[in-house]
Chains A and B, each alone.
Chain A
């Protein structure tokens, strides 16, 4: 693989035929793992990412428990075969950093105070990497969290924006990532707050402002795709009056918490049921689908993320 001679054709289209403000096609499947409390398989261009959520569950070792809140753990990990040259499995410095900033991308939105002493584990496995795996993983993780019924202020969407040949482009492809001039992965809440931002390369301050505008567009598009995926999964609950039994069949519900007192109460009960010893599944669970239908995300700005693959460092 070497640097392409030009990044744009005569019509201004990119190497893979996209416009500068176009993201790669994204496909989302919700609830693909039976043992996880929530899960999501996501394809974005040639990226293939799997996210699984476990919890809220009791945190061990106990000394790590926080009396007033749950903690979130996030593990980003690349499969050894996910890139051209095999990478040694297990945590490396790059994965450690990405895990940290990705966790911090979710901490502002997950209502951790509802589950004191608990842990919410998010595992993101990159099965195939093709630029933008950290953002792909975040996009999958947010769906998996929703699928697990973890109360959140809203969905998080992530996308990267970058610069190639002096032009800003949304959602960098592999060559654009490897040979481009700048890479700016961003994660945003649906309210447009930035929960992850990293950058490397070179951007002027004006370019940076423009890049932020562009990345908002990308995140918004991704938010729509995410919402559609969740709606597809849970639309079965929309029209039928929910019976307890039905609900038990579908333990995962996506709870976009509206921050009404009512919602809070429901959440708390749910928390108790999930963490506590005696679980009254029926009662608690039938609340969830009701809640879930109200996913009222406004809009989420786009962020694009760029992946640096197996870069040495």
Chain B
């Protein structure tokens, strides 16, 4: 049943595409309306609620003391998880994270980690013994497509509002999260050789190839991931990179620089 529906949808979305249109009337390179609200959960050290159209995710940051990894004794630890909560979609099931959730969490993590957004050395307390462990938990509340980009901006927004609870642990005064960079992830899907930015749920369901690119303030790229069962031409990859960096700059300007 779902298969049949998906083929009908595919036809519909594909035919619209041939006319240069999208289901919700956007241009191919147009994002949905985005809202970012920070400090929504008092109990978390940092938090953000993000809406991409009707897609809603809530990101909470918690800090705990822990031991560093032996191969990096002088830096704090980042642990990112994404929970595809069954409340968010009839197709999500409870239970341990599956392939999709793991992939999204790792791509989100890579954006934060590889951009150097956080000065992890400042999260080291005693080298080799005690560091801050930074838990970024993404809670998906409503899936109308492109959870990944919402998680990406939610994660950095939440981090930007995070206070390190040093007092609670008897380690002196609280201090703000040492943020150095504002990475923003932008995803595009391939449909018949064209690229569409910020895919909605149906668009995501019918397009079998997606590329997500995370970029920094200076327009350099810090993370990338192709997912889905199709292939992309080299030309498409290059075009996606340019477009993603452009869109990321706008999103950053409109939503992160204000925080």
Contact = CB atoms under 8 A, between A and B. Distances in A.
Contacts of A311: 71
Interface string B199-221: 00000000000010000101111
A93 B105 CA distance: 10
A226 B72 CA distance: 38
Contacts of A200: 110, 113-114, 222-224
Interface string B79-110: 10000000000000000000100110110011
A93 B226 CA distance: 17
A100 B221 contact: no
Contacts of A194: 226, 231-234, 236-237
The interface centre, meaning the residue of A189, A195, A202 with most chain B CB atoms within 10 A of its CB, is: A202
A96 interface: yes
A236 interface: no
Contact of A199 (B72, B221, B233): B221
Contacts of B227: 100-101, 104
The binding surface of chain B is classed by DSSP as mixed
Given A104-B226, A202-B216, A189 B231 contact: yes
Interface string B217-259: 0111111111111111110111001100100000000000000
A96 B107 CA distance: 13
A101 B237 contact: no
B232 A198 contact: no
Given A200-B110, A201-B114, A212 B238 contact: yes
The interface centre, meaning the residue of A192, A195, A209, A313 with most chain B CB atoms within 10 A of its CB, is: A313
B69 interface: yes
Given A199-B223, A205-B221, A205-B241, A104 B229 contact: yes
Contacts of B72: 312
A249 B103 CA distance: 43
A104 B208 CA distance: 10
Given A192-B234, A212-B238, A202 B229 contact: no
B238 A209 contact: yes
A101 B226 contact: yes
A107 interface: yes
A300 to B, nearest CB: 12
A212 B231 contact: no
Given A197-B225, A208-B241, A97 B231 contact: no
Contacts of A96: 99, 102-103
Interface residues of B, number: 43
Interface string A89-127: 000011011011100100111000000000000000000
Interface string A183-215: 010000100111111111111110111001000
Given A93-B102, A104-B228, A197 B245 contact: no
Contacts of B228: 104
B224 A199 contact: yes
Nearest to A199: B224
A212 B245 contact: no
Contacts of A197: 211, 224-226, 232, 237
Given A194-B234, A197-B226, A312-B71, A205 B114 contact: no
Contacts of B223: 199-200
Contact of A193 (B69, B220, B231): B231
A311 B115 CA distance: 17
Contact of A212 (B102, B218, B234): B234
Interface string B41-82: 000000000000000000000000000011110000111000
Interface of B: 69-72, 77-79, 99, 102-103, 105-106, 109-110, 113-116, 211, 216, 218-234, 236-238, 241-242, 245
Nearest 4 Cβ contacts at the A-B interface = A199-B224, A107-B229, A193-B231, A108-B231
5 contacts: A194-B237, A197-B225, A197-B226, A202-B220, A202-B222
